[in-house]
């Protein structure tokens, strides 16, 4: 019987399955201890076993109740009403339980479960305390290890930072040195660039000047080509007319030859008559001499003989010839020359060596023509370089240049000393002491220049000034004057660089209306 009870008790304990379903956090249990409530439910599971489910607070407990052995028909334990239950006491076989055994059993089980729950809470709190201590130790150890690792890493980073700082300092020093070198090179390059820019600007200005000069020269060459083309056409026409004229003259010459042949037969008779006439003239002159008839000699012959005694117009003026006109002067021992004397300007006594007034004479002549002179001394003419050289070699002369523009304004330039060299010296011009109203500065080259013509280039320019500016003159480098240029009529006299110009009177492209160059001894009074 004892073994039967013991077996029943063990079966009851073994059959007791506690299923605890506890929700919520550990932090809520202490607050819910006083408010915990219990609900119970009894039922049968699917296999026919009885169970009892108890809800205590947030925990749910399920108990499977033991069953008695059917052969004996006795309950597992004996329970007396009103007796206190001792869960730790051995149970003996007991009589049939009363009707409220289940409720009491449940209450006892609840009490046991409360004890178990309290023990579990204590264990849980102990575990928590132990875990807290261990966690604190683990955290401290981890913090210590982490701190050591961080210190080691910090030391390593500091070392690396120091090394990198040193390297960066070296690199910065190199960069600064290189930057200084680059700045110096940049400054040098800037200075070189400024110099090159200035030189380039100077070169550009020079190129622009050369372009302008080339444009001007091209225009002049175009004008010259046009003028030469026109002259060529005129020459062709003149050639054609001359050929016609030569044909006519050839026939006239043939006719004259025929007449000459006829007249040759009568030449002997004519020579005899001439000899008779000469003898008659001698006899008449002898009779006149015997009778004192010197008054019969023509006055014009007497005047001509008197004029041959004077070397220039100054001596004629001092001898009483004080009217403008053509006179004969004595150039050499046996040589005379007709000249135009200006007896009115600035006291008179001027020998005219050049004159322009109407454009009737072409002054684009050869060297030989300028040497011997051309034109009419009573109108437009050039006296001749050789005669001017002979005159200015005998004594010291002054030069006066008189100018007239197309508005009737007159001006003059005067030089206190004037002479030219021989043909061997290219009739070089020598001047001193400029004065006058035709400009503050001399338009003739004071320091001297050789004479040039279209067939004798003695100027200091590669462009051949005598061809480009027309006419013979003392050009030097196509200087500021040319009184032997092309004669342009009124209305066409502006913008002509090859006209009759005197730069410091009317500018470089104004062609004058009239000019006159004349000389007189310095000691004239």
**The pLDDT value given to residue 10:** 44
Of 23, 499, 134, 521, the C-alpha closest to 318 is: 521
369 has pLDDT over 70: yes
- The C-alpha angle 27, 33, 39, rounded to 5 degrees, equals 120
The pLDDT tens digits of the residues spanning 234-252 come to 888 878 877 887 777 777 7
Q: How far is CA 335 from the centre of its chain?
A: 69
Of 480, 474, 465, 483, residue with least CA distance to 431: 474
The structure's pTM equals: 0.46
Tell whether the model's pLDDT for residue 437 goes beyond 90.
yes
What is the average per-residue pLDDT within 100-106?
79
Whether residue 253 is predicted with pLDDT greater than 70 in this model: the reply is yes
Tell me the pLDDT tens digit for each residue of 262-320: 666 565 556 566 566 766 766 676 676 655 544 444 444 444 445 457 889 999 999 99
How far are the Cα atoms of 31, 119, 124 from residue 59, in angstroms, in the given order? 15, 15, 16
Average pLDDT for the chain: 79
Among residues 27, 230, 21, 212, the alpha carbon closest in space to that of 124 is found at 27
178-190 per-position pLDDT tens digit: 888 898 988 888 8
Overall average pLDDT of the 68-96 stretch:
47
Beta-carbon contacts of residue 51 (< 8 Å; ≥ 6 apart): 42, 43, 44, 45, 62, 63, 64, 65
> What pLDDT, on the 0 to 100 scale, is given for residue 18?
39
Q: Is the pLDDT of residue 424 over 70?
A: yes
- Which letter does DSSP use for residue 459 in this model? S
């Amino acid at each position: 019987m004892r073994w039967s009870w013991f077996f029943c008790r063990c079966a009851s304990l073994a059959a007791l399955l506690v299923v605890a379903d506890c929700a919520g956090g550990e932090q809520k249990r202490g607050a819910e201890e006083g408010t915990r409530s219990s609900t119970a439910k009894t039922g049968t599971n699917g296999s026919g076993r009885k169970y009892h489910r108890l809800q205590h607070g947030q925990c749910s407990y399920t108990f499977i109740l033991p069953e008695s052995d059917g052969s004996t028909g006795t309950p597992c334990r004996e329970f007396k009403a009103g007796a206190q239950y001792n869960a730790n006491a051995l149970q003996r076989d007991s009589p049939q339980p009363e009707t409220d055994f289940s409720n009491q059993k449940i209450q006892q089980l609840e009490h046991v479960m409360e004890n178990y729950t309290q023990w579990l809470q204590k264990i849980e709190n102990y575990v928590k305390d132990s875990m807290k201590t261990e966690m604190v130790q683990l955290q401290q150890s981890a913090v210590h290890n982490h701190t050591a690792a961080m210190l080691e890493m910090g030391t390593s980073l500091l070392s690396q930072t120091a090394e990198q700082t040193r390297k960066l300092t070296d690199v910065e020093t190199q960069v600064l040195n290189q930057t200084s070198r680059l700045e110096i090179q940049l400054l040098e390059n800037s200075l070189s660039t400024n110099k090159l820019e200035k030189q380039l600007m100077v070169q550009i200005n020079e190129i622009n000047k050369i372009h302008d000069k080339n444009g001007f020269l091209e225009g002049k060459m175009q004008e010259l080509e046009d003028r030469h083309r026109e002259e060529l056409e005129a020459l062709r026409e003149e050639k054609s007319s001359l050929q016609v004229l030569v044909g006519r003259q050839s026939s006239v010459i043939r006719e004259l030859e025929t007449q000459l042949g006829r007249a040759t037969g009568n030449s002997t008779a004519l020579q005899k008559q001439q000899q008779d006439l000469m003898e008659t003239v001698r006899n008449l002159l002898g009779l006149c001499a015997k009778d004192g008839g010197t008054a019969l000699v023509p006055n014009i012959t007497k005047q001509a003989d008197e004029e041959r005694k004077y070397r220039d117009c100054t001596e004629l003026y001092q001898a009483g010839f004080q009217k403008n006109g053509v006179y004969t002067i004595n150039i050499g021992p046996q040589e005379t020359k007709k000249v135009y004397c200006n007896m009115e300007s600035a006291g008179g006594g001027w020998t005219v060596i050049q004159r322009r007034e109407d454009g009737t004479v072409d002054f684009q002549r050869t060297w030989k023509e300028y040497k011997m002179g051309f034109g009419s001394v009573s109108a437009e003419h050039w006296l001749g370089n050789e005669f001017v050289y002979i005159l200015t070699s005998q004594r010291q002369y002054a030069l006066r240049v008189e100018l007239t523009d197309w508005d009737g304004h007159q001006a003059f330039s005067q030089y206190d000393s004037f002479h030219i060299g021989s043909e061997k010296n290219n009739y070089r011009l020598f001047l001193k002491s400029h004065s006058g109203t035709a400009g503050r500065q001399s338009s003739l080259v004071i320091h001297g220049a050789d004479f040039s013509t279209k067939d004798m280039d003695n100027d200091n320019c590669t462009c051949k000034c005598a061809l480009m500016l027309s006419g013979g003159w003392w050009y030097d480098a196509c200087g500021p004057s040319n009184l032997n240029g092309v004669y342009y009529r009124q209305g066409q006299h502006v913008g002509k660089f090859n006209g009759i110009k005197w730069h410091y009177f009317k500018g470089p492209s104004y062609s004058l209306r009239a000019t006159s160059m004349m000389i007189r001894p310095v000691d004239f009074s």
